[in-house]
Each structure stands twice: as C-alpha cells, then as structure tokens.
C-alpha cells in the first residue's frame, strides 16, 4: 500500500488545547497531551527536526496503514511487531479521585485509582469499575454535598479535601458499598515532581524515612504507587523500593529505564506521546519486560477520541490506565478493549491479578526503527510544513499547551 500523501490538521483535545491529527492515505490518528511537561534530555533525533507531535501522529497512522495492508487488526499488527503470538487483555486502573495539576482542589496527590484485579474477564472488570465509580459519587455526595461531585481532568471526582488519606478512605468505603472488597485493589499516582522545586519538596512528608506511604500500604489494599518521589531523586527511590513489597511505577522514556532498573522502579509507565513514536514505545516496553518489570500503558490528561492505546493490548503489558468510566475520550478506549475481547472469543485472556507479569518475560531484541522507508522520508518536508503551520497558528491565537 503506497503512502502518497500525509495531511496534518489541528484539532482540540479533551481540555480544549490544540493538538494534531495526521491523515496518512486511509488512516488517521490524533495525538494526546499531558499536564506534566518537565523537560527531559531524551528525544529522537527525527523529532528534534520535525516536532514530536507531528512525528507521533504520523507514526500512529503508519501502524494503522500497516495493519490495513496486512489485512489484520491493529492490535494483531502491534503484537506481531512486538513478537507476541498471544494477546492478554490488561487489568484496568480506573482514576476515581484526582488532585494536583488535574484538579482545582487542595489534594496534593494527583490520582487515586482502583484495579478490579480479581475479575474473571475484562468485561466484568469494566462493570465493577463502573459500579464503584457510581457508589463513590454517592459516598462523596452524602459526606460533602452535591457540589463535591464535580469532576476534573479524566473524569475523576475532585472533592475539596486536604488529606490524602481521606481520599483513600472514600475509595475504601465505595468499594465496600459496591460489594467488591475482595475483588478490587488501590493504586496511586503521586506525581511528586510537580511539587519538587530545586531539589526540595514543597510537602513535608516527602522523605525516604517518612511513614506516610508505608501507612497507606498497611491500612489500604495498596498494590502500587506511581512517581512517589521526584524523577531525579534516585537515592530516595532506591531506599523506598527496598523497604516495600508493592510495585513502584515510574520512568516514561527508554534511556532512563536502564538507570531505573538498577536503582529505583519495578514498573514502566508507557506514555506513547512522551516517547514520541510507536516503534520506540514498543522498544521501551520490551526493554522493561526483559528486565522483569511490569508495564502500565497510560493515556494523558489531555486526550482525544483516538483509541490507539487500547490496541496496545498487543504488547501484553497487563495494565492500562485511561481515566474514568464516564468521559467520552476515556470510554472510547474502554469500548475498543471490550470489542477486542469479543473478537478474541475463547482466546481472550484477562491479566487480572497477574497484571504485573502476565506472560513469561523473555530477553527479546527490541525492534529497530523503521523511519528509513523511502515513501515516508520523501514526505517528511510536508510533515514539517504542516507542523510549523500549526505552531504559527498557536502563537498567533495566543494558545498555550499545558
């Protein structure tokens, strides 16, 4: 299937911020954005020249065209490229209560989530997540009033509470009210880099010796904590990892994985727009899995209706977080995963409580980049022109990406 034309247009994400969508022959793909934008030293050489958003949009579209050319589903195409003969549907990390940069409240920690890991199949996990979400709304309304049930980015509730333990109590109460204390566990995204300035934390509990995190682990069914410390605070990460028996999630770019494998983490957070291409996302996933890590596929807080990350089921990561079961940009991904489960039929496998290592890890060679395709290289000047036009329009209109 010849790639004759690429067209990049400006669209808006779920927060009303501009992003890009790429049409490649018969395929199109839209790029998400995030609230956390701390600089990183890793960027593909090609993205430095043409812009990460434009390149990612094209990368997503290239994979869709590749699947169409082979006559297979997108998730099967990704699985083949990753070397996975079998497919495993991921455990779901539903974002229930939000704070930090995702909400206008006093809660410092960014996300409190649930995982229905003891569900028997994916669709049951979806149902459990939705039921807990609705019970949580009732719990919050009864305690704080109707106004407290307003939602923020990704659809999570944003009650104006201060104590992080209070959000965990609300979750625990909702899980029990829904009748699933034996099927649901809790995880958190602290996003500690958001309140670390010049190497010092704004919050006084952020230290390796502070008992707060350990009290969470002791008092709640806590299964993992994401970004508990600043991304460059390796010493504290290492000390904390050695002292707990839950999964520590962090690191979104492959160059930092090698450093973190030896020092700090046990699970990769895979955000395709931070890595900048699908191929490099697959590389990062394989690298993490080959070192015995878990992998959690993640959306961004500024999302589109594109369902591509649902098709990352082909990577057999075992976990995905893509918001609450209410916002349309989130539901698009969940609905696609349910379609995939239906299409797989008897071959559908749900990661469930094996989410950290749903398949035996193998020392596989990560696939190489495929930007040498002559048809694609010939189109790069056109990609660059479209990306620059979008940049100029943003500057003219005074829009700012958060």
Just list the catalytic residues.
Answer: 154, 271
Q: Is 227 annotated as a binding residue?
A: no
Can you state the angle between helices 278-290 and 254-263, rounded to 10 degrees? 20
| DSSP string of 172-187, one letter each residue | HHHHHHHT-TTT-EEE
Q: How many Cα atoms occupy the beta-carbon half-sphere of 15 within 13 Å? A: 24
Which tokens go with 120?
């028997």
Per-residue CA distances from 127 to 111, 131, 178, 184 (Å): 20, 6, 11, 12
Q: Is 124 annotated as a binding residue?
A: no
Q: Which residue has the tokens 């409580």?
A: 353
Q: Output the 3-class SS for 122-141.
A: HHHHHHHHHHHHHHHHHHHH
H or E stretch including 239?
Answer: helix 234-243
SS3 144: helix
- 117-144: string of b/e by CB count within 10 Å (b at 16+)? bbbeebbebbebbbbbbebbbebbeeee
* DSSP class per residue in 274-341: HH-SHHHHHHHHHHHHHTT-EEEEE--SB--S--GGGGGGGG--EEEE---SSSHHHHHHHHHHHHHH
Q: Are 17 and 25 in contact (CB under 8 A)?
A: no
Which residues contribute to the annotated binding site for Mg(2+)? 189, 226
Which residues contribute to the annotated binding site? 189, 226
């Amino acid at each position: 299937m010849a790639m004759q034309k690429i067209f990049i247009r400006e669209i808006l994400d779920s927060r009303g911020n501009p992003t890009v969508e790429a049409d490649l022959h018969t395929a199109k793909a839209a790029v998400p954005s995030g609230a956390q934008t701390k600089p990183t030293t890793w960027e593909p050489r090609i993205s430095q020249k043409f812009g990460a958003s434009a390149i990612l949009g094209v990368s997503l579209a290239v994979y869709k065209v590749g699947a169409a050319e082979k006559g297979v589903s997108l998730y099967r195409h990704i699985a083949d490229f990753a070397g996975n003969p079998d497919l495993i549907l991921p455990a779901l990390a539903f974002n229930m209560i939000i704070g930090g940069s995702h909400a206008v409240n006093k809660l410092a920690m960014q996300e409190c989530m649930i995982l229905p890991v003891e569900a028997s199949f994916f669709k049951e996990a979806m149902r459990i997540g939705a039921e807990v979400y609705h019970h949580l709304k009732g719990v919050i309304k009864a305690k704080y009033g109707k106004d407290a049930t307003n939602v923020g980015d990704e659809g999570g509730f944003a009650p104006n509470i201060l104590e992080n333990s209070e959000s965990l109590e609300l979750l625990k109460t909702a899980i029990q009210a829904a009748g699933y204390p034996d099927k649901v566990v809790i995880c958190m995204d602290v996003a500690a880099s958001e309140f670390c300035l010049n190497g010092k934390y704004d919050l006084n509990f952020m230290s390796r010796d502070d008992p707060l995190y350990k009290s969470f682990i002791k008092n709640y069914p806590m299964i993992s904590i994401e970004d508990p410390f600043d991304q460059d605070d390796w010493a504290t990460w290492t000390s904390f990892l050695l002292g707990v028996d839950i999964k520590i999630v962090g690191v979104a770019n492959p160059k930092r994985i090698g450093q973190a494998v030896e020092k700090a983490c046990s699970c990769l957070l895979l955000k395709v727009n931070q890595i900048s291409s699908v191929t490099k996302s697959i590389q990062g996933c394989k690298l993490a899995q080959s070192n015995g890590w878990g992998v959690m596929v993640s959306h961004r807080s500024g999302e589109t209706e594109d369902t591509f990350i649902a098709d990352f089921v082909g990577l057999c990561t075992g976990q995905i977080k893509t918001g609450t079961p209410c916002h349309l940009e989130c539901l698009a991904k969940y609905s696609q995963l349910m379609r995939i489960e239906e299409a797989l039929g008897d071959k559908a496998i749900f990661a469930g409580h094996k989410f950290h290592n749903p398949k035996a890890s193998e020392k596989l060679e990560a696939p190489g980049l495929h930007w040498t395709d002559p048809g694609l290289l010939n189109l790069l000047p056109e990609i660059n022109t479209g990306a620059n036009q979008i940049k100029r329009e943003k500057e003219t209109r005074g829009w700012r990406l958060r």
